[in-house]
Structure 1
């Protein structure tokens, strides 16, 4: 007899499997930029899915109505937009993702105060663990680029943090939080699209020059790849697509 698991249970199992070895991964970095990029793509795709955090929050807080959902999505908390992210250099992009997720991690910690029994919302703890895993992979990728991560200065695009000068009502706090979660999921969706563009570029590089690594095309100032000794006689040069 086949047993069909609820969709939420399947998602939880997928998240658990994906981040099962995350604590172990933080002890060291992979030397494969392609592997790190693949992991980041998978992590961004999952954390960009509202089922991983926002949907269970809405159900738990009684906000799962058309009107209240619209209140969450029409005025989300501002995060760096996809266009702004694409305009950044790769080191600056990694800086921004790492720093923004650091602020999200702390904000999710503050979100625990809304729940009398946090055990009713295990997705929150999982989400914070996921963020730590993503930041670790971003750090490792920056290391391969020989780039030291720094926290960027706050910009008008928004830091992804809730800001309020007054104490909101309980209901307003819930709305503010769901707007923050929607903005976070949208941000991770944008991050995934940018990383996907990096992966597409690496595929084209491998087709033109299969012996060259993904990392070589990312290094700042790289313009050409020197030909191998066997090909020097033909005086051919391989251009690195931008």
Structure 2
């Protein structure tokens, strides 16, 4: 009888540990972007001719764990909105969709791993990974933070999915010269100055677009193709994550930095 009691206690203890481990696994970003959600959001990434099978859920979660504030700051609504914004922007950067694509034009994020323009922006430090990391200075700065020599080995970003996600999250979390970080914008931790307001730079998703590619896509007085595509992805993911999109979706009236 005593042996049975000990066996029951051991079983109960194991069950509690398993439950605790399961709960722990669902903390942070993984509690919102579950494996099932990741697959639903990016369901065509491995379809022919896409390269996106490279992008795995495990690689995303491991990379996110190195940036504890990413998708993990503020209330549940703020966290969901930031993650919808991150995937909206990176899906545009890796976009493989077209107007009448199966599932719609915004179901084809994370199709490409490397820059599709021909010739590339830079013959060595061309766009790679979810954010399409470009230019030597970005490879150098990201490498310093990640403790990787991305200047000598930029192909790590296109051959190691965890590194690829880490460079994207690094860019998202890091202010760029005069620009705030996309993270601070999307968690409402950035307040525009009077000069910013006079230049149309206001909090919201459009400001993230301005930070990432404002020189080509923003301040045109009407939505550019890139701006429109970024918004379309963001709206799709916001709906899937059950969160409102907020204000200032477009950057059409935001003056780009450096102008």
**Shorter-chain TM-score: what band?**
under 0.3
Structure having the higher helix fraction is 1
Q: Whose relative contact order is higher, 1 or 2, with alpha carbons under 8 Å and at least 6 apart?
A: 1
When normalised by structure 1's length, the TM-score is: 0.25
When normalised by structure 2's length, the TM-score is: 0.24
